[in-house]
Structure 1
Amino acid sequence: MKFLAITLIAHGPDPLTGETRSTTERFRDVVDSAVLAEELGFDGFGVGERHERPFISSSPPVVLSHIAALTSRIRLFTAVTTLSLLDPVRAYEDYATLDHLSDGRLELIIGKGNGSAQARLFHVTPEDQWDRNREAYELFRRLWREDRVTWEGRFRPSLTDAETWPRPLQRPVRVWHGSATSKDSVDLAARYGDPLFSANVTNPIEPYAELVDHYRERWAHYGHDPAGALVGAGSAGFYAARTSQEAIATYRPIYDARVALFRKSGVEPVFDSLEDAVERGSILVGSPQQIIDKVLRYHERLGHEVMHISADADGLTRAQHREALELFQSDVAPVLRKEIPSRPFPAVPVVPQSAGMSVPEPTAQSTAQSVSTARPVSTARSVSTAQPVSRPVPLSILDLSPIPSGSGAGDALRNSIDLARHAERLGYLRYWVAEHHFAAGVASSAPAVLIGLIAAATNHIRVGSGAVQLGHQTPVAVVEQFGLVDALHPGRIDLGLGRSGQRRAEIVAEAPQSLQPARTPQSAQVPQAAQAPQAARTAAPRESRVVDGLLIPPAFSFAELARSPQLALQAALLQQPGARTPDFAEQVDEVVAFLEGTYRSPGGIAVHAVPGEGAEVELWILGSSGGQSAKVAGERGLPFAANYHVSPASVLEAVEAYREAFTPSKVLSEPYVVVSADVVVAEDDATARELAKPYGLWVRAIRTGQGAIPYPTPGEADAHVWSEADRELVADRVDTQFAGSPETVAERLRVLQRVTGADELLITTITHGHADRVRSYELLAEAWHAGAPHAGRAGGSL
């Protein structure tokens, strides 16, 4: 379970002493409470929005911006943003600005708001407030996701091709919908696949539980995966003490004073006494065990994963309030975190840092494996000597759709879709699928199709290719395929491009003519390729070396593989007879032109890819060496994914070549690098090594020209008799696979991230059992989150 501290910034007399702090002092109290919440380990801090007495929370983005400047880890919530009262364009500008100032820690809880005074202030009637809220959210949502918006509605002037600035850091931001009684808010949340926050602070549980049930029903009605529904809930008051008697005795005067205040204003209390409120309401007053039991009872009915408690003293002394919060974090929160699993909060985006900034020094290292969790500042010259900042990076997934032995392609594809749902639940940033052909052990031969299926089965995780092989596809065909998927799932699709098809053609060009397929006379004409990447291979080291704790093995030679009749046949089968493979850089430029709608033939004729033109896909280049792919990505200012899990020998030169070639573009102002790693995580090192046993045998099949075989069991791997030649053949891949306990693997990934300067890590995991693969990603996400630094201005976590 995750825990938030929330304040509505009420400003009035203390219920016991009658003292009223000044407005300035009250705002300072709020900021101090936020800093304390981060210090104590709360996951989030929320500020409400009210526009009437006794509240002074009329400008939550201003308050949260000040809190952002004084904190580094805790996520910042609005509780709630009253979109029905606000112009959505102006609200977007405020919160996009706050998104940057908070380093991407912003989450919004939206709602229509309540209170007749604020409705009169903004000229909102009870009859149109729901329509205003719905329309404002529709526009706000589009402004956050789309660079240009054309829109027409009832309650504000229309927009035509409008741009709003700044563009946000999080794409998209997570938006919760707060509701105490409204089915309209619940339906809006379910329709858009957004989480729900129950404002269960006034009545017993049942009315709120009925709303949550309705949310889950509408969620399924709109076609979302039931497992994706996410619920938060609140509490009406809070005080924890060592014993129930102490808690009740301390809180009773506060409760009685509030009841008297309600009665004075003409409002009868819902509960007969403090004991009745503790028994039937959401108030959390009692011993740690009493609070634990009550939250667990509420969870049984609401199924919530996030809970808020009051950030305010509410009549307690400052010392009492702090002691209660400390007791909650020491005795209550750890139990509830264990008993109620919760999804990680969204990954904090990597914030580009100027190479000239002053940043903290790395922690000292006692061994090659004892590393800091720091992230290097991107530079154009070096990948291993850059100064670090204290920021963990996001984790993403690369899925090959492996086919386990004894299984089939259908099972593998269904496993991929299921794993993507888990990845979204666990907070991974993106989910990429590979493209492989003629492989008995890999089912991902049509990435655009599989991406569409995965996007339809998930709600917000980015989905993409890692990578489309441009060597045997035309740029326009690729743009149309991914444009179609983007039209159905806008703003979530990544298009990763690779040279694999061209490199295959290069191998074929060097193969004997007798190895060419004999379908037709034309099929003997193997496509001519661009310059082969020999320079990168010869530049790689001949012996293993360790760079700042990272193993860089000798390069694998493809000379034997180039003579494989199987590989030559596959290369020719993937090309149309007589087809010419264009230069990779030319193909990338055509992809960009078709996406932007600027394509012109050599004769000046314009053609347009539909769907595809104007698609919101993110374009990536993937590469294994310091050759053409790295340079194309850098020269065009595109993000680059470097391949440690397949080509560990050349990963550093690939990253360095990309940074050296980088030219700022409208896509990126600074280089952005993802580095891949092959990982197997289990509860302990021995179990992980057992699960990873088949990897060497699987790699051996690929490198002897058989291709990827169905993934063996550990027993099948044990049955293989290994020669020294076999071991040498796969040593670079086996030695650079990270297999171990969560702590072991997380530490090795931090070394990889630090040495390469990666802005993001791309994790690929293959095990024979699907449940073991899911569990590996779960354990890694938990360890990465738990190991995130909580200090430093640039802190964050998965």
Structure 2
Amino acid sequence: MEIGISTFVETTPDVKTGEVISHAQRLREVVEEIVLADQVGLDVFGVGEHHRKDYAASSPAVVLAAAASRTKRIRLTSAVTVLSSADPVRVFQDFATLDGISNGRAEIMAGRGSFIESFPLFGYDLRDYDALFDEKLDLLLTLQKSEVVSWSGKHRPAINNLGVYPRPVQEPLPVWIGSGGNSQSVIRAGLLGLPLVLAIIGGRPVQFAPLVQLYKQAAAQAGHDVSKLPVASHSHGFIAEDNETAASKFFPPTQQAMNVIGRERGWGHYDRAAFDAARSFEGALYVGDPQTVAQKIIHLRKKVGITRFMLHVPVGSMPHVDVMKAIELLGKEVAPIVREEISAWEDVQ
């Protein structure tokens, strides 16, 4: 059971003061968070790509590379790379470079992206949303498999027998598929034999169990070894010494961030009742003391089949010291509980 962190490198206004820290400061803070995550024994750190004012990481590979030489074992991944609006050759080169700097710890998490700012920014038509992803994923996987590439498609100029460099330390360079819970996307990942990441950020996490089974069925039908295909979750959460402290610190910035996005997407108002329901044992928020969060992760592993858990923190802007404390508690207290119980549980399966 792998345990780690994901972040979108938020720069939203402070709920109490209205102050907005600079993109530069938040980027430097995230590098420190990655370094700490490595020091406390976490397995993976993911940085999400966005192209808007309230998120600072438009280039996850650069952020991760800044931490690569200061870390020793933690895996470094995008969370996600918006592949539909990116050049797969450049994505592969960036993460192959990261792989070299980190000596084989880079991963790509490819997704369509739930935010669409990158499409007009890079000159893509949203009417081609699905076709762009399908075609660019095909090219990325071609690059993953071969040093010299010949490829042609509709939305990008063809490549005729050209080498792509640098080559990664890992052959092949890991590519995961990020999904918000769409059955078509999990079937695609299974058919391709690619690791799957589910964004479990609402509802009841156990409702994702059928999607995991659908993924495994597709992989098995395509002839892939299902036992070698990990399934990850990305879920919002926060850890403090006690449940009430965790909730009181995490709710205000989460409410602010969720309501900003909610207004853009037509969601209902996010209030404390919704927050408290989501942090119940069956809910999708992993907020509380170490024991509470550990038991929810264990439940997710046993009931859904998740083999990698990524705590997404913060949601909205939180004091850097609070985020660092949550990372420390996840690594030093939560992870040992989860690993010990899952190991014992698997021994009797």
Give the TM-score normalised by the residue count of structure 2: 0.88
- TM-superposed deviation, 1:311: 4.4
1:339 to 323, 336, 341: 341
- 1:284-299 counterparts in 2 under 5 A? 284-299=286-301
- 1:5-404 counterparts in 2 under 5 A? 5-241=5-241, 243-258=242-257, 261=260, 266-269=266-269, 272-279=273-280, 280-312=282-314, 314-341=316-343
Give secondary structure in 1 for the equivalent of 2:267. coil
Give the whole-Å Cα distance in 1 for the aligned partners of 2:68 and 2:164.
23
Task: Look up the equivalent residue of 1:324 and give its one-letter code.
Answer: A
Give the whole-Å Cα distance in 2 for the aligned partners of 1:334 and 1:105.
22
Give the whole-Å Cα distance in 1 for the aligned partners of 2:94 and 2:88.
10
- TM-superposed deviation, 1:71: 1.8
Give the whole-Å Cα distance in 2 for the aligned partners of 1:219 and 1:16.
48
Task: Look up the equivalent residue of 1:274 and give its one-letter code.
Answer: F
Instruction: Quote the residue 2:347 is aligned against.
Output: none
Task: Look up the equivalent residue of 1:13 and give its one-letter code.
Answer: P
Give the whole-Å Cα distance in 2 for the aligned partners of 1:138 and 1:257.
38
- 1:467-506 counterparts in 2 under 5 A? none
Give the whole-Å Cα distance in 1 for the aligned partners of 2:90 and 2:50.
17
- 1:418-429 counterparts in 2 under 5 A? none
Whether contact under 8 Å (1:44, 1:75) holds in the other structure is yes
Give the whole-Å Cα distance in 2 for the aligned partners of 1:236 and 1:93.
30
Give the whole-Å Cα distance in 1 for the aligned partners of 2:229 and 2:91.
26
Whether contact under 8 Å (2:11, 2:316) holds in the other structure is no
Task: Look up the equivalent residue of 1:65 and give its one-letter code.
Answer: A
- 1:433-444 counterparts in 2 under 5 A? none
Whether contact under 8 Å (2:205, 2:283) holds in the other structure is yes
Whether contact under 8 Å (1:134, 1:188) holds in the other structure is no
- TM-superposed deviation, 1:165: 1.7
Q: 1:662-710 CA distances to partner (integer Å, 9 max, x unpaired)?
A: xxxxxxxxxxxxxxxxxxxxxxxxxxxxxxxxxxxxxxxxxxxxxxxxx
Q: 1:534-570 CA distances to partner (integer Å, 9 max, x unpaired)?
A: xxxxxxxxxxxxxxxxxxxxxxxxxxxxxxxxxxxxx
Give the whole-Å Cα distance in 1 for the aligned partners of 2:260 and 2:147.
49
Give secondary structure in 1 for the equivalent of 2:45. strand
Task: Look up the equivalent residue of 1:187 and give its one-letter code.
Answer: I
- TM-superposed deviation, 1:18: 1.8
Whether contact under 8 Å (1:61, 1:94) holds in the other structure is yes
Give the whole-Å Cα distance in 2 for the aligned partners of 1:316 and 1:53.
17
CA gap of 1:229–1:167, structure 2 versus 1, over 3 A, is closer
Give the whole-Å Cα distance in 2 for the aligned partners of 1:122 and 1:182.
25
CA gap of 1:16–1:219, structure 2 versus 1, over 3 A, is farther
- Whose helix proportion is higher, 1 or 2? 2
Give secondary structure in 1 for the equivalent of 2:188. helix
CA gap of 1:193–1:313, structure 2 versus 1, over 3 A, is closer
CA gap of 1:124–1:38, structure 2 versus 1, over 3 A, is same
Give secondary structure in 2 for the equivalent of 1:181. coil
CA gap of 1:59–1:315, structure 2 versus 1, over 3 A, is closer
Q: 1:393-442 CA distances to partner (integer Å, 9 max, x unpaired)?
A: xxxxxxxxxxxxxxxxxxxxxxxxxxxxxxxxxxxxxxxxxxxxxxxxxx
CA gap of 1:44–1:14, structure 2 versus 1, over 3 A, is same
- TM-superposed deviation, 1:111: 0.7
Give the whole-Å Cα distance in 2 for the aligned partners of 1:117 and 1:194.
27
Give the whole-Å Cα distance in 2 for the aligned partners of 1:165 and 1:172.
14
Give the whole-Å Cα distance in 1 for the aligned partners of 2:114 and 2:145.
28
Give the TM-score normalised by the residue count of structure 1: 0.40
- TM-superposed deviation, 1:94: 1.8
Give the whole-Å Cα distance in 1 for the aligned partners of 2:156 and 2:250.
47
Give the whole-Å Cα distance in 2 for the aligned partners of 1:246 and 1:9.
23
Give the whole-Å Cα distance in 2 for the aligned partners of 1:123 and 1:220.
38
CA gap of 1:182–1:204, structure 2 versus 1, over 3 A, is same
Number of matched pairs: 341
Whether contact under 8 Å (1:239, 1:286) holds in the other structure is yes
Give secondary structure in 2 for the equivalent of 1:309. strand
Task: Look up the equivalent residue of 1:82 and give its one-letter code.
Answer: V
- Name the stretch that deviates more: 314-323 or 127-136: 314-323
Give secondary structure in 1 for the equivalent of 2:4. strand
Give the whole-Å Cα distance in 1 for the aligned partners of 2:131 and 2:192.
16
CA gap of 1:259–1:72, structure 2 versus 1, over 3 A, is closer
Whether contact under 8 Å (2:239, 2:290) holds in the other structure is no
Give secondary structure in 1 for the equivalent of 2:117. helix
CA gap of 1:22–1:330, structure 2 versus 1, over 3 A, is same
Task: Look up the equivalent residue of 2:17 and give its one-letter code.
Answer: T
Whether contact under 8 Å (1:313, 1:321) holds in the other structure is no
Whether contact under 8 Å (1:150, 1:160) holds in the other structure is yes
Alignment RMSD:
2.4
Give secondary structure in 2 for the equivalent of 1:235. strand
Instruction: Quote the residue 1:582 is aligned against.
Output: none
Give the whole-Å Cα distance in 2 for the aligned partners of 1:261 and 1:309.
21
Give secondary structure in 2 for the equivalent of 1:301. helix
Give secondary structure in 2 for the equivalent of 1:236. strand
Give the whole-Å Cα distance in 2 for the aligned partners of 1:259 and 1:313.
8
Give the whole-Å Cα distance in 2 for the aligned partners of 1:303 and 1:267.
29
- TM-superposed deviation, 1:176: 1.0
Whether contact under 8 Å (1:80, 1:178) holds in the other structure is yes
Q: 1:59-112 CA distances to partner (integer Å, 9 max, x unpaired)?
A: 111111111122222111111111111121222222222221221110111111
- TM-superposed deviation, 1:126: 4.2
Give secondary structure in 2 for the equivalent of 1:84. helix
Whether contact under 8 Å (2:84, 2:112) holds in the other structure is yes
CA gap of 1:135–1:31, structure 2 versus 1, over 3 A, is same
CA gap of 1:24–1:226, structure 2 versus 1, over 3 A, is closer
Give the whole-Å Cα distance in 1 for the aligned partners of 2:76 and 2:116.
28
- TM-superposed deviation, 1:308: 0.6
Whether contact under 8 Å (1:7, 1:48) holds in the other structure is yes
Give the whole-Å Cα distance in 2 for the aligned partners of 1:127 and 1:258.
28
Q: 1:250-281 CA distances to partner (integer Å, 9 max, x unpaired)?
A: 43444444455456655315673332110243
Give the whole-Å Cα distance in 2 for the aligned partners of 1:136 and 1:74.
28
- TM-superposed deviation, 1:193: 1.1
- Larger RCO (alpha carbons 8 Å, 6+ apart): 2
Whether contact under 8 Å (1:14, 1:315) holds in the other structure is yes
Give secondary structure in 2 for the equivalent of 1:115. coil
Whether contact under 8 Å (1:111, 1:185) holds in the other structure is no
Whether contact under 8 Å (1:16, 1:257) holds in the other structure is no
Instruction: Quote the residue 1:515 is aligned against.
Output: none
Task: Look up the equivalent residue of 1:275 and give its one-letter code.
Answer: D
Give secondary structure in 2 for the equivalent of 1:161. strand
Whether contact under 8 Å (1:305, 1:341) holds in the other structure is no
- TM-superposed deviation, 1:58: 1.2
- 1:630-649 counterparts in 2 under 5 A? none
